[in-house]
Amino acid sequence: MSILEVKNLTHGFGERAIFEDVSFRLLKGEHIGLVGANGEGKSTFMSIVTGKLLPDEGKVEWSRYVTAGYLDQHAVLEKGSSVRDVLRTAFDELFKTEERINEIYMHMADEGADIDALMEEVGELQDRLESRDFYILDAKIDEVARALGVMDYGMDTDVTDLSGGQRTKILLAKLLLEKPDILLLDEPTNYLDAEHIDWLKRYLQNYENAFVLISHDIPFLNDVINIVYHVENQNLTRYSGNYYQFQEVHAMKKSQLEAAYERQQKEIADLQDFVNRNKARVATRNMAMSRQKKLDKMDIIELQSEKPKPSFDFKMARTPSRFIFQAKDLEIGYDRVLTRTPLNLTFERNKKVAIVGANGIGKSTLLKSLLGLIPALGGQVERGEYLELGYFEQEVPGGNRQSPLEAVWDAFPALNQAEVRAALARCGLTSKHIESQIQVLSGGEQAKVRFCLLMNRENNVLILDEPTNHLDVDAKDELKRSLQAYKGSILMVCHEPDFYEGWVDDVWDFNDF
């Protein structure tokens, strides 16, 4: 029996169609991966099933009494709430049950109270609390908080003092503690380091309830799912098995369709040639008409147009000095120093370095301190000469009402419209993407706009903060190729070993700093 069913869903934004009469079902205990290229509608689908968006047509039907939990990276956390306060809200229902028990005890003192009935209710409620480990909740909270690295922030820390990535990890921990019937996870690994991703992988592998997962971290996705729904060309197609099995079946189906298309095209050409040669001759007119009828009744096989694939190419500026950055006794942070000891780092010309480590430990802060975007709390940074820095920031403000066309044209007014469109198309964006507001684009499409801005400037140093977040498989592969080919220096924060291993010169592990 389906615990979530979507029927005849159609949805779009303006003239841009996202889904066309698609259906979906989620059965109890299924672990589903929702996959597809950037902009195909994966996050839109999540917004529809959670009621954040109303579909143009179709129905979303949940089974009765089903609880669902959605990782909403835009949720607002109240000032004055500590990390532990937020995590304890995962058990609000149990705290209400405890309040009910206390109310019943108070009612037992009332004149004429049915003590036996009240005691029976207390027993049932008590059993519910014990079955949900109510009396060891803080231990459960500490276990999950430690596993995801949330405890490192300090359980008494005000959540509004934390970064967006740190708050997202807290929301993920709260969601896992709630243990709903259905987990809805949209890119949960974006703010996790390798250790915490491994823990989440084991957790999801053993999760007895159902979940729907969007992730471009393919090894992670493959290891935790048993069903794939592929979003492509406004359709939603179900496949059994993990991601790699889906790839094999999808490639085979595509190959079979292409072969059938080629056979049919040849048959159409042969039939049309016969009709053209014989329709005017009396002796063969009937045969020509028969073949024309066959042509008219034929179900024409159509191949879906290939999605544009990005082609990244970063321009080189003049050669900089030997030393790009030299940090001496550097102390980084905002209100407090984030590292155990002052940093002494040297980043030289033509080096490619990946920075890794736990989320919230200060990797992004280090990049901003080296760039001079925030002041150091101690020590100094010496920057080299002739630096042309290209910076890809992890978090950018939302609500950009410009179109990609306007944003790139504003940045490069010397280009004409055709050149701007061509630059955006090279990054894998279609005409509809180029003319839409940036704020309605998917995270991956927005990243491609930012890469377009970066590509059209000459740089000799690229500073990249989690550049793979939100990128689909094709875009990630192309970015990896282009960075390997880049002749300049690269300093990059990244949580995906599969992306940087094999081509960077060094890895700085921030956990050791």
Element of type H or E holding 87: helix 83-88
Alpha helices in 325-468 (DSSP H): 363-371, 404-411, 417-426, 431-435, 443-455
363 lies in the same domain as 502:
yes
213 lies in the same domain as 345:
no
430 lies in the same domain as 373:
yes
What tens digit of pLDDT does each residue of 323-339 get?
A: 999 999 999 988 778 88
Question: Of 241, 267, 287, which one is at a domain's C-terminal end?
Answer: 241
Q: Is the pLDDT of residue 460 over 90?
A: yes
Q: What local confidence, expressed as pLDDT, does residue 73 receive?
A: 59
Q: Tokens for 460, please give them.
A: 């000799």
For residues 513 and 343, the answer to whether their CB atoms sit within 8 Å is yes
- Residue 72 resides in a domain: no
- Residue 133 resides in a domain: yes
Q: Is the pLDDT of residue 432 over 70?
A: yes
- Residue 422 resides in a domain: yes
201 lies in the same domain as 62:
yes
Task: Label residue 65 exposed, middle or buried (CB < 10 Å: 0-12, 13-18, 19+).
Answer: exposed
Q: Is the pLDDT of residue 1 over 70?
A: no
**Region of poorest pLDDT, from 19-23, 181-185, 430-434:** 430-434
Question: Of 255, 277, 296, which one is at a domain's C-terminal end?
Answer: 296
Reported as a pLDDT band with limits 50, 70 and 90, residue 440 is: confident
Reported as a pLDDT band with limits 50, 70 and 90, residue 102 is: confident
Q: Is the pLDDT of residue 74 over 70?
A: no
| Number of domains composing the chain | 4
261 lies in the same domain as 283:
yes
Domain that holds residue 104: 81-163
Q: Is the pLDDT of residue 216 over 80?
A: yes
129 lies in the same domain as 154:
yes
Phi, psi angles (nearest 5°) of residue 244 = -65, -35
- For residues 362-367, average pLDDT: 89
Q: Is the pLDDT of residue 77 over 90?
A: no
- Residue 407 resides in a domain: yes
- Residue 467 resides in a domain: yes
366 lies in the same domain as 431:
yes
Distance CA(247)–CA(255), nearest Å, equals 12
Q: Is the pLDDT of residue 399 over 80?
A: no
- Select from 204, 180, 156 the least CA-distant residue to 32: 204
- Residue 8 resides in a domain: yes
373 lies in the same domain as 499:
yes
129 lies in the same domain as 263:
no
> What pTM was computed for the model?
0.76
Distance CA(451)–CA(94), nearest Å, equals 47
For residues 11 and 440, the answer to whether their CB atoms sit within 8 Å is no
- For residues 341-359, average pLDDT: 90
- Residue 304 resides in a domain: no
331 lies in the same domain as 446:
yes
**Region of poorest pLDDT, from 2-11, 153-162, 216-225, 470-479:** 153-162
Distance CA(211)–CA(28), nearest Å, equals 9
For residues 357 and 196, the answer to whether their CB atoms sit within 8 Å is no
For residues 174 and 147, the answer to whether their CB atoms sit within 8 Å is no
268 lies in the same domain as 227:
no
Query: Among the ranges 11-15, 172-176, 259-263, 350-354, which has the highest mean pLDDT value?
Result: 350-354
For residues 353 and 492, the answer to whether their CB atoms sit within 8 Å is yes
What tens digit of pLDDT does each residue of 293-307 get?
A: 988 888 888 877 777
CATH of the domain at 23: 3.40.50.300
54 lies in the same domain as 89:
no
Reported as a pLDDT band with limits 50, 70 and 90, residue 507 is: very high
- For residues 359-379, average pLDDT: 88
Alpha helices in 214-353 (DSSP H): 218-224, 243-278, 285-297
- Residue 457 resides in a domain: yes
Q: Is the pLDDT of residue 275 over 80?
A: yes
